[in-house]
Amino acid sequence: MDNQRDTTDQFLPRFDAAGLVTAIVTDAATGRLLMVAHMNADAIALTQATGQAHFWSRSRAALWRKGETSGNGLTLVEMRVDCDQDALLLRVTPAGPACHTGRRSCFYRRVEADGRLTFIDDDAQG
């Protein structure tokens, strides 16, 4: 076990085999969970340098800035790292819906015991 990451004051992200860490994104004002994405070292560096959330798209194999086409960017308020530095929490100020469906959050359906999905958040904007 690598206890150095647990006790250090140095940011030492523990990237997976693909060079990624999971990023959990919440609204800094409300605490609402907005989305989950992945970041590589370049996405982290760009986010820190610009104050705008950048991620790694696994499907496109490319860096992207949230809002680059929709205008619904995420302004970084604070970046936190978990105890073993393999997950990040981005507290952000959203400029609009975080989900590509137009909803504020990507988490708008609940999985029921029978496998059905129940829509729990009908806050589509636009």
Q: Evaluate whether residue 60 is within a structural domain.
A: yes
| Least-confidence region, from 2-6, 9-13, 95-99, 115-119 | 2-6
Q: Evaluate whether residue 62 is within a structural domain.
A: yes
| Least-confidence region, from 1-5, 12-16, 30-34, 47-51 | 1-5
Q: Evaluate whether residue 6 is within a structural domain.
A: no
Q: Evaluate whether residue 9 is within a structural domain.
A: no
CATH number assigned to the domain comprising residue 94: 3.10.20.810
Q: Evaluate whether residue 43 is within a structural domain.
A: yes
Q: How confident is the model at residue 125 (pLDDT cuts 50, 70, 90)?
A: very low
C-alpha–C-alpha distance, residues 23 and 71, integer Å: 20
Is the confidence at residue 53, as pLDDT, over 70? Answer: yes
Is the confidence at residue 123, as pLDDT, over 90? Answer: no
Give the global pTM: 0.89
In the three-class reduction of DSSP (H, G, I as helix; E, B as strand; rest coil), residue 66 is classed as coil
C-alpha–C-alpha distance, residues 74 and 92, integer Å: 6
**CA dist 100 → 8, 34, 40, 45 (Å):** 37, 11, 21, 24
Q: Mean pLDDT throughout 30-51? A: 98
Q: Evaluate whether residue 90 is within a structural domain.
A: yes
Q: Evaluate whether residue 12 is within a structural domain.
A: no
> How many structural domains comprise the chain?
1
Domain span at residue 87 reads: 20-119
Q: Evaluate whether residue 67 is within a structural domain.
A: yes
